[in-house]
Amino acid sequence: MNETQFRFQQKRNANPRHFLIYAASAELAVVEKITKEEKGISKWTPHELAAIIFSAFALEAICNSFGDKLFGESCWKDFETRSPIEKLQIVCEKLNINSSLDFRNELWSDAKWLVGFRNEVAHAKLQPIDQETTIPIAQCNYYPINSWPLSDVEKEITIGNAKRAIKVVQEILAQFYLKIKEEDRGSLFFDISFTTGSSR
């Protein structure tokens, strides 16, 4: 005798920016709990770096999602090859967001910084650092000799910049939400999934 089986079929529009924003926020939450003692002599932890990089990935994923929805397959190949800042400009123009990406405006200057930082990390190369420090002789016992000088990239890995990175992504997403047609919001702002089942 054959046992009755139940067949599930699931469909989902998975939007990668959701897990990227979640990952950035989770990394920030970790770093906010790290005590000075746990951090030791380190000026930054991998968690700040991860929060910033995941935010940069999320920003481009947002642009890709909106670009796909707004322009469709006819323009996708051209859109996909653009830089993240160009994609951001194109989407803003299409949504009539009067930004013209004025980089004197904090939101857009932060977006440019975020993309620039991501590029610096992705294309990082050796940076020779030669630092000389002069301190009073009385402070020599307290000077952390094993605290190495930071590279330009490392100087930007801070909890403040991690918060800044997440904030810029959330603010751009909020602006897009207000400008996108209501009927298009579902698939762009939420993972939509469907499950159907039948017995066999």
pLDDT value at residue 48: 94
Alpha carbon 84 to its chain's center: 12
Degrees to nearest 5, angle at CA 31 with 160 and 173: 55
pLDDT value at residue 40: 66
pLDDT value at residue 149: 82
pLDDT value at residue 160: 94
Determine the Cα–Cα distance for residues 157 and 165; give it in Å rounded to an integer: 11
pLDDT value at residue 191: 62
Residue 102 covered by a domain = yes
Residue 144 covered by a domain = no
pTM beyond cutoff 0.95: no
96 sits in the region (left: phi over 0; alpha: psi -120 to 50; else beta) called left
Residue 26's contacts (CB-CB under 8 Å, 6 or more residues apart) are none
Residue 159 covered by a domain = yes
Reported residue count of the chain is: 200
Residue 47 covered by a domain = yes
Token duo for residue 39: 């951090």
The tens-digit pLDDT sequence of the chain (200 residues) is 577 877 778 777 767 777 888 889 999 999 888 877 777 667 788 899 999 999 999 999 999 988 888 887 778 888 889 999 999 999 998 888 875 566 678 888 999 999 999 999 999 888 888 887 777 777 766 656 556 788 899 899 999 999 999 999 999 998 888 888 777 776 666 666 666 666 66
Q: Which residues pair with 193 in a beta bridge?
A: 12
Query: In three state form, how does the secondary structure of 145-170 look?
Result: CCCCCCCHHHHCCCHHHHHHHHHHHH
pLDDT value at residue 199: 66
What domain range is 38 assigned to? Answer: 14-125+149-190
Residue 143 covered by a domain = no
Domains of the chain: total: 1
Residue 131 covered by a domain = no
Determine the Cα–Cα distance for residues 70 and 76; give it in Å rounded to an integer: 10
Residue 5 covered by a domain = no
CATH of the domain at 25: 1.20.120
Residue 118 covered by a domain = yes
